[in-house]
Structure 1
Amino acid sequence: MPEDAGEPMLKLQAWLADYWVIGAGFMAASLMAAAPVVSLPLPVFLIFLHSPFYMVHQVEEHTGDRFRKFANEHVFSGRDALTVASVLVINLPFVWGVNLLALYAAFLWGPAWGLVAPYVMIVNALAHLVTSARLGKYNPGLVTSVILFLPLSVVTIWMIGLTAGLVPQLIGAALAILLHLAIIAVMAARYRSLVATS
């Protein structure tokens, strides 16, 4: 009997779900260990730092699948609105991909082209802070949002903004906000679907 066509994808998803956070921790450590010998102009180097800093944040946020469980319990009334697959897609191709593309864009065309990275970071940090204030409790990822995300993103935006001008800042901010709104829209649609079928 032929193997179900979807089974390999499910196996890959299960494997990634088990190991991606560990991988993020090792990659963050490797990138930070290499940072002292990375020869880049300071504004581009700050864009480079967004990847390992984000990976450290992901370790705090997703170890033991705790952010997904927290969001489903406290934000989506116990429903599985944030799925394992969604967590993987958001964090691997989107977060890592955006940071990598921002780094290459900043390196090839100038630091202003990488501003989406600090804006994604600062929007994420603000989301953690607002959630914590609204619920009156810690949420997974809050600590690194405060001690890593806010300082790095603010310094990067300020340093690049000295020469970039307003338009690149607005484009970077708009892209970061649109990315987060798209994620929220997908989760909200799934939540409404779950409510409608319960």
Structure 2
Amino acid sequence: MNMDEMVAWLSRRWVIGAGFMAAAGLAALPILATLVSLPVLLIFLCSPTYMVHQVEEHHHDRFRRFVNDTLFAGRCAMTRRDVLIVNVPVVWGLNLGAAYAAYFLTPAAGMVAGYAMLVNAMGHLIAAARLHGYNPGLLSAALLFVPLGTAVVVTAGPLQSTSVAWHFAALGGALVVHIAIAASAFWRAGMSTGRMLG
């Protein structure tokens, strides 16, 4: 199996895998709650919660088709490979890294997971307001990301002089990730337009 075949194979299966992994992560919460502090527990909870969001968002390739067809008027702004890379190594890696940082360093070091949820939710809510309707992932972003992201930020980094830098770093990291994803989509859409015109 070459790389393209592997990506195609994973692209067809990662969403269902996310659903099972979310269930496994949530099942472990009662044990973890006895072992770690509340901020660390909430940061860990970002992973299975994000996976629940990914199931809503990407089931039947809904989000990619929404981005290409609705937001970019039929241009190819996002491929299945893009979706896979953003959601598996980037999102899962960010949340895993945040949980480790929160546990081994300080909870404030894991706040990027909470801020990433809030930035993501803001994107879904703005799109819903502008388009006057549902977009894939909106429900879990509004009902899960907003309260959990807020809880992470409030509990992991209480506003003190010692945590302000962590807040800026975490918010900056979350914004950089989302801006890079958006920039990639605009770049690919522009390339797609160039190929169609050429």
Which band: TM-score by shorter chain? over 0.9
Q: Secondary structure at the match of 2:94?
A: helix
Q: Report the Cα distance in structure 1 between the residues aligned to 2:117 and 2:143, rounded to whole angstroms.
A: 12
2:16–2:55 contact (8 Å) kept in structure 1: yes
1:129 — aligned with what? Answer: 125
1:75 and 2:71 correspond: yes
User: How far does the alpha carbon of each residue in 1:110-160 deviate from its partner, in whole angstroms, 9 at most, with x for none?
Assistant: 101101100111100000000111111100000000110000000110112
Which residue of the partner structure matches residue 63 of structure 1?
59
Secondary structure of the residue aligned to 2:154 is helix
Q: In structure 2, what is the equivalent of residue 18 of structure 1? A: 12
Counterpart selection for 2:36 from 24, 36, 40? 40
Q: In the TM superposition, what is the alpha-carbon distance from 1:161 to its structure 2 partner?
A: 2.2
1:28 is the counterpart of 2:27: no
**What secondary structure is seen at the aligned counterpart in 2 of 1:50?**
helix
1:139 aligns with 2:109: no
Which residues in structure 2 correspond to 1:1-198 (within 5 Å)? Answer: 8-38=2-32, 39-162=35-158, 165-198=163-196
Aligned equivalents of 1:86, 1:95: Cα separation in 2 = 12
Aligned residues: 192
Note the C-alpha offset of 1:10.
Answer: 1.4
Secondary structure of 1:115's partner? Answer: helix
Deviation, 1:169, is 0.5
Question: 2:2 is paired with a residue of what secondary structure?
Answer: helix
Question: Tell me, what secondary structure is at the counterpart of 1:77?
Answer: coil
Counterpart residue identity of residue 116, structure 1? V
Q: What's the Cα RMSD here? A: 1.0
Q: Gaps spanning 5+ residues in structure 2: where?
A: none
Deviation at 1:165, TM superposition (A): 2.1
* Secondary structure of 2:74 counterpart: coil
Dislocated runs of 4+, deviation >6 Å: none
How high is the sequence identity, in percent, across the aligned residues?
A: 47
1-structure distance, mates of 2:152, 2:114: 7
Question: Structure 2 CA distance, aligned partners of 1:105 and 1:85?
Answer: 28
Partners of 2:110 and 2:156 within 8 A in 1: no
Secondary structure at 1:139's aligned position in 2? coil
